[in-house]
Amino acid sequence: MKMTGLLRYNRLILIALLGLAIALVLSQVGRRGNPNPRPVAYLGSDGVPEVVLKQNQLDQYVVTGRINGERIEFLVDTGAADVALPYGVAQQLGLRLHPGAVSKTGNGNVRSWTAWLDSVDVGGVVAHQVKATVLPNMAGEQALLGMAYLKHMEVWLAGGRMRLRPYVTP
């Protein structure tokens, strides 16, 4: 009888430890993905809005933002000239596509289209009339937030954080 009780007790401890291990793994998966699902801008001391993004465990800046008011996940990519969108995302957004050229990507040259985005919003820090490149072979639903948006911003990187604010001409 005592042995049966001990086995039940050990089984409960094992189940509890397994539950904790699963919770830990799931929390780490989330941190590696998008640590900025709902960024919010605040007003800097000069009244200009700023947003601070956290780096994920892969040292990337992933953030949920908006294109023309529609939610989309971005990977910040300073090496991308434009905002890069998968073809399917461009269709979902109802973008008007203009014949592009051949785009040079990390995976080689691909045919692309150009679109103009009325607005790109990251936590309330907005740029208007942003150029996008639409790529037919770009996988997933994540967009690249490239220099077409970032060139309108002042960008600071420090301590695993990225601070964005609109560039204001002095």
Report the percent of the chain where pLDDT is more than 70: 81
Question: Do 83 and 145 form a contact (C-beta atoms < 8 A)?
Answer: yes
**From the CB of residue 51, how many other CB atoms can be counted at a distance below 10 Å?**
21
Residue 7: what pLDDT? 67
Number of domains in the chain: 1
Is residue 143, in this structure, part of any structural domain at all?
yes
Is residue 51, in this structure, part of any structural domain at all?
yes
Query: Taking the chain, what is the end-to-end CA distance rounded to the nearest angstrom?
Result: 82
Range of the domain at 73: 33-166
Residue 110: what pLDDT? 85
CATH code of the domain containing 41: 2.40.70.10
pTM above 0.75, yes or no: yes
Q: d(Cα 45, Cα 73) in Å, to the nearest integer?
A: 29
pLDDT tens-digit series, residues 42-81 = 999 999 999 999 999 999 999 999 999 999 999 999 999 9
Is residue 78, in this structure, part of any structural domain at all?
yes
Report the percent of the chain where pLDDT is more than 90: 72
Q: What is the mean pLDDT of residues 36-46?
A: 96
Residue 107: what pLDDT? 77
| Sign of the dihedral defined by the CA atoms of residues 59, 61, 161, 57, in that order | negative
Q: Over the chain, what is the mean pLDDT?
A: 87
